[in-house]
């Protein structure tokens, strides 16, 4: 009787799929369908199962799935044109002791690699890993193919691990090596590691599914899952291998999906999709740059430098001009750019203004940028060549370029900037991944002020007072760390600092020491957890993709109320850092040295930057602290997204927001956040950034 019912259910689903395909009044060729369906795991999928499609390059998807027994949030990023990665945080079960009555809160990392794109007669083929870094709760792998026939997208695949639970058979990869035949148990230890590699090993099973597109708004999905949900059977009824669902694309960014899963459970999934190359509004709201004039034999001669007009245009574009002088065939200018996030765009504005309102004998411009009292970049402009680049933006820049980054001489100028600055505004503070309260938030008022004593020497600080918070609801005040609690004691700071605290108060000095050499020192209450003194030196030639830095600090832990008292713990930290940014797809940073808990090791950061100003990356820190001593997570790691506000509002503004997803906050590999600031300060003005954002030069 059971076999008859299973066959009947399969027949009904296949019949429904066929009717949908045949009776749809809308026909859109598969090649015209822009939207790639993503499943509950964030990567290309049907519902719970993957497809072989790939997301648009750099696509970023936020996923929230909710039903009675599973609440899952995830972040997906198409890191490379053929590689998508996803981080997922899920609350599982019901009737437990954790937040929302869950039995467990689980973190997992997934990867999806596109091997072959769909052709006229060939399917798309991809392979993937699920939960290959984490606790192994969803540990599985797949090889999957997808073929589109009009609006119908058919998928079938071979699953391993959890995806080989139903109707499994001997692994066909065993024909290549007997090592694929058996799948051993993987000990993930404290989580956060690869564990023992057993990918694509053990029995296999077939899964299949379909997506049917009603235009670009509605997708109807059905799948036959090879996952029997064995680890969820204590709280979840799995009555059927079939899952069905329908999704609706609300607008260009948000999609909603409702599903009936396992023959017993309704589920709702919401996804938000954004892309650094797809801003919300096309075109900029700012005024166009000054048009250049023709120079040469066929143009009217100009024998006068219109300095007053140049200064008025710069004032309108909010450039603070500290120095402007015409000498022989060159104009030298020193400015602070207070408006444009993109240095390329700022350079274009300055170049076009100088080209139009200077005399014919002025052939070159030397432009120096200051930022936060530091000379951060210098460019030399050929004012005759840039005329043709503005009129013909597609002209190549690497062949005898008109704009060249130079190291330049060290300038000693008296700036016109105000000595005293201040501001008052709201702040937001968040904590995530606490099983008792997965997301905590605090908002309040921050007052900040600074006074410039002499050029480069400044005293500055900020105080905060919370207004609305649930950070104090945290019950895990003691992390149980075996190391000095230099980072994991944050719940004590959250609790004791509620009556108002000093976020930072320090005396700092920055200076360009030589044409490619920068220096910085500071002392005081450096950050919320630590006070002390120290500094750094950075060597970064303007046209070189490589920078080298050294920093050292002696610090002492601040008292939990974050005022002037200090605790007993003190230490000396320092790192040698290597930076690489060629203006291409990836940046690399490596910091090696001593960390706050006294451990020695290195941090590797890989990020991808975009011409729109986005930055998406991640880091991992390995030190001499054993994984067991480190605790849950095994080692420090994080993902981050840095979002430029001008991408959202389509108007020039320099501010940006950064979100860091740090699965575990422990004490091993903990760094001083106020260290190594020089490279952060200059990188957005240097040559690599200019190359990456060259498309903004004449906007």
113 and 153 part of one domain: yes
Matching residue, tokens 């009904």: 12
Report how far apart, in Å, the C-alpha atoms of 434 and of each of 90, 96, 117, 416, 600 are.
12, 15, 40, 48, 27
The Cα 216–Cα 621 span in angstroms is 43
Q: How many other C-beta atoms lie within 10 A of the C-beta of residue 423? A: 10
In this structure, what DSSP letter does residue 624 have? S
pLDDT confidence of residue 641 = 93
358 and 445 part of one domain: no
Closest of 247, 229, 265 to residue 45, by C-alpha? 247
11 and 34 part of one domain: yes
Domain final position from 249, 274, 299: 274
pLDDT confidence of residue 346 = 94
The Cα 264–Cα 52 span in angstroms is 27
Q: Confidence class of residue 191 from pLDDT cuts 50, 70 and 90?
A: low
Residue 661 pLDDT exceeds 70: yes
Domain membership of residue 298 (yes or no) is no
217 and 128 part of one domain: yes
3-state secondary structure of 101: helix
CATH number of the domain enclosing 319: 3.30.70
pLDDT confidence of residue 28 = 35
pLDDT in tens, 475-522: 777 777 889 999 999 999 999 999 999 999 999 999 999 999 999 999
pLDDT confidence of residue 194 = 65
459 and 408 part of one domain: no
Domain membership of residue 593 (yes or no) is yes
pLDDT-above-70 percentage for the chain: 91
The Cα 111–Cα 89 span in angstroms is 15
pLDDT confidence of residue 676 = 95
Residue 585 pLDDT exceeds 90: no
Domain final position from 363, 398, 416: 416
The Cα 693–Cα 615 span in angstroms is 13
CATH number of the domain enclosing 77: 2.40.160.40
Identify the bridge partners of residue 159 per DSSP, sorted by sequence position. 142, 205
Q: Is 452 exposed, middle or buried (0-12, 13-18, 19+ CB in 10 A)?
A: middle
pLDDT confidence of residue 190 = 62
Domain membership of residue 286 (yes or no) is no
Domain membership of residue 667 (yes or no) is yes
Q: Do residues 438 and 432 touch, judged by C-beta distance below 8 A?
A: yes
pLDDT confidence of residue 3 = 37
The Cα 699–Cα 390 span in angstroms is 9
Residue 559 pLDDT exceeds 70: yes
Residue 270 pLDDT exceeds 90: yes
The listed range with the strongest mean pLDDT (366-380, 423-437, 564-578, 658-672) is 564-578
433 and 404 part of one domain: no
227 and 374 part of one domain: no
The Cα 536–Cα 519 span in angstroms is 6
199 and 79 part of one domain: yes
Report how far apart, in Å, the C-alpha atoms of 620 and of each of 62, 84, 266, 580, 662 are.
22, 19, 38, 17, 10
Q: How many other C-beta atoms lie within 10 A of the C-beta of residue 534? A: 20
pTM for the predicted model, two decimal places: 0.87
Question: Which stretch of 192-206, 223-237, 373-387, 649-663 has the lowest confidence by average pLDDT?
Answer: 192-206
Q: Confidence class of residue 364 from pLDDT cuts 50, 70 and 90?
A: very high
pLDDT confidence of residue 288 = 82
In this structure, what DSSP letter does residue 44 have? B
For residue 96, the Cα-to-chain-centroid distance in whole angstroms is: 33
174 and 311 part of one domain: no
Q: What is the mean pLDDT of residues 256-273?
A: 95
pLDDT confidence of residue 308 = 93
Q: Confidence class of residue 384 from pLDDT cuts 50, 70 and 90?
A: confident
464 and 603 part of one domain: yes
Domain residues for the domain of 468 are 421-690
The Cα 19–Cα 11 span in angstroms is 12
387 and 467 part of one domain: no
pLDDT confidence of residue 372 = 87
pLDDT confidence of residue 192 = 64
Mean pLDDT for the chain overall: 88
In this structure, what DSSP letter does residue 288 have? P
Domain membership of residue 280 (yes or no) is no
Question: Which stretch of 78-92, 411-425, 578-592, 641-655 has the lowest confidence by average pLDDT?
Answer: 411-425
Q: How many other C-beta atoms lie within 10 A of the C-beta of residue 2? A: 6
Measure the CA angle with vertex 470, ends 469 and 476; round to 5°: 135
Count the alpha carbons within 13 Å of 437 in the hemisphere toward its beta carbon: 14
The listed range with the strongest mean pLDDT (332-336, 408-412, 631-635) is 332-336
Q: Confidence class of residue 169 from pLDDT cuts 50, 70 and 90?
A: very high
pLDDT confidence of residue 579 = 97
222 and 266 part of one domain: yes
Domain final position from 274, 299, 329: 274
Matching residue, tokens 């938000």: 272
CATH number of the domain enclosing 557: 2.40.160
Count structural domains, the chain: 3
For residue 615, the Cα-to-chain-centroid distance in whole angstroms is: 5
Domain membership of residue 169 (yes or no) is yes
Q: Confidence class of residue 394 from pLDDT cuts 50, 70 and 90?
A: low
Question: Which stretch of 111-115, 244-248, 507-511, 664-668 has the lowest confidence by average pLDDT?
Answer: 664-668
Matching residue, tokens 């019949």: 15
Per-residue b/e over 364-393, b at no fewer than 16 CB within 10 Å?
Answer: bbbbbbbbebbbbbbbbbbbeebbebbeee
pLDDT in tens, 3-38: 333 433 443 443 344 334 333 333 333 334 458 999
Residue 625 pLDDT exceeds 70: yes
Domain membership of residue 282 (yes or no) is no
Residues 6+ apart with CB under 8 A from 581: 545, 547, 587, 588, 609, 683, 686, 688, 689
């Amino acid at each position: 009787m059971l076999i008859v019912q299973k066959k009947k259910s399969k027949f009904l689903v296949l019949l429904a799929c066929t009717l949908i395909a045949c009776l749809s009044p809308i026909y859109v060729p598969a090649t015209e369908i822009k939207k790639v369906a993503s499943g509950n795991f964030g990567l290309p999928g049907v519902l719970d199962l993957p497809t072989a499609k790939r997301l648009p390059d750099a696509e970023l998807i936020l996923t929230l799935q909710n039903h009675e027994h599973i609440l899952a949030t995830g972040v997906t990023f198409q890191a490379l044109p053929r590689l998508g990665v996803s981080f997922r945080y899920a609350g599982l079960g019901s009737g437990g002791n954790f937040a929302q009555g869950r039995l467990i809160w689980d973190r997992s990392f997934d990867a999806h690699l596109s091997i072959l794109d769909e052709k006229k007669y060939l399917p798309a083929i991809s392979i993937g890993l699920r939960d290959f870094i984490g606790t192994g709760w969803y540990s599985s792998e797949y090889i999957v193919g997808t073929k589109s026939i009009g609006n119908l997208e058919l998928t079938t695949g071979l699953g391993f691990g959890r995806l080989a639970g139903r109707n499994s058979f001997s692994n066909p990869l065993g024909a290549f090596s007997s090592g694929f035949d058996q799948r051993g148990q993987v000990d993930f230890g404290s989580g956060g590691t690869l564990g023992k590699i057993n990918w694509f090993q053990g029995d296999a099973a077939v899964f299949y599914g379909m997506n049917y597109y009603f235009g670009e708004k509605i997708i109807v999905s059905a799948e036959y899952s090879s996952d029997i949900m064995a680890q969820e059977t204590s709280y979840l009824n799995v009555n059927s291998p079939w899952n069905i669902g329908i999704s609706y694309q609300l607008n260009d960014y948000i999609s909603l999906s409702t599903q009936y899963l396992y023959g017993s459970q309704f589920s709702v999934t919401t996804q938000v999709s954004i892309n650094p190359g797809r801003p919300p509004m096309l075109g900029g709201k700012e005024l166009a740059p000054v048009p250049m004039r023709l120079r040469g034999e066929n143009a009217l001669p100009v024998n006068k430098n219109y300095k007053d007009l140049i200064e008025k245009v710069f004032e309108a574009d909010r450039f603070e001009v500290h120095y402007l002088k015409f000498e022989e065939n060159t104009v030298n200018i020193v400015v602070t750019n207070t408006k444009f996030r993109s240095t390329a765009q700022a350079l274009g504005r300055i170049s076009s203004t100088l080209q139009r309102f200077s005399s014919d004998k002025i052939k070159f411009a030397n432009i120096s940028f200051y930022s936060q009292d530091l000379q951060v970049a210098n460019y030399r402009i050929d004012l005759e060549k840039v005329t043709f680049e503005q009129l013909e933006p597609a002209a190549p820049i690497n062949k005898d370029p008109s704009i060249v980054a130079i190291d330049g001489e060290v300038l000693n100028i008296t700036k016109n900037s105000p000595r005293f600055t201040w501001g008052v505004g709201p702040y937001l503070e968040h904590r995530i991944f606490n099983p008792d309260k997965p997301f905590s938030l605090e908002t309040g008022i921050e007052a900040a002020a600074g006074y410039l004593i002499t050029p480069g020497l400044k005293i500055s600080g900020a105080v905060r007072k919370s207004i609305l918070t649930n950070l104090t609801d945290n019950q895990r005040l003691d992390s149980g760390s075996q190391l000095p609690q230099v980072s994991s004691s944050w719940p004590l700071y959250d609790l004791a600092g509620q009556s108002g605290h000093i976020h930072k108060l320090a005396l700092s000095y920055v200076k360009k020491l030589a044409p490619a050499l920068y220096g910085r020192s500071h002392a005081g209450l450096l950050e919320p957890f630590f006070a002390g003194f120290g500094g750094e030196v950075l060597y970064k030639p303007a046209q070189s993709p490589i920078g080298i830095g050294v920093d050292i600090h002696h610090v002492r832990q601040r008292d939990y109320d974050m005022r002037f008292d200090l605790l007993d713990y003190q230490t000396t930290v320092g790192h040698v850092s290597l930076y690489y940014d060629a203006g291409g797809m990836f940046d690399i940073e490596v910091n090696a040295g001593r960390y706050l808990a006294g451990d020695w090791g290195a941090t590797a950061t890989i990020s991808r930057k975009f011409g729109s100003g986005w930055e998406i990356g991640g880091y991992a820190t390995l030190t001499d602290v054993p994984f067991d001593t480190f605790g849950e997570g095994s080692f420090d790691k994080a993902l981050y997204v840095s979002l430029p506000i001008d991408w959202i509002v389509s108007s020039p503004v320099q501010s940006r927001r950064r979100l860091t997803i740090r699965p575990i906050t422990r004490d091993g590999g903990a760094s001083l956040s106020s260290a190594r600031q020089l490279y952060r300060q200059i990188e957005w003005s240097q040559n690599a950034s200019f190359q990456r954002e060259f498309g903004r030069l004449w906007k």
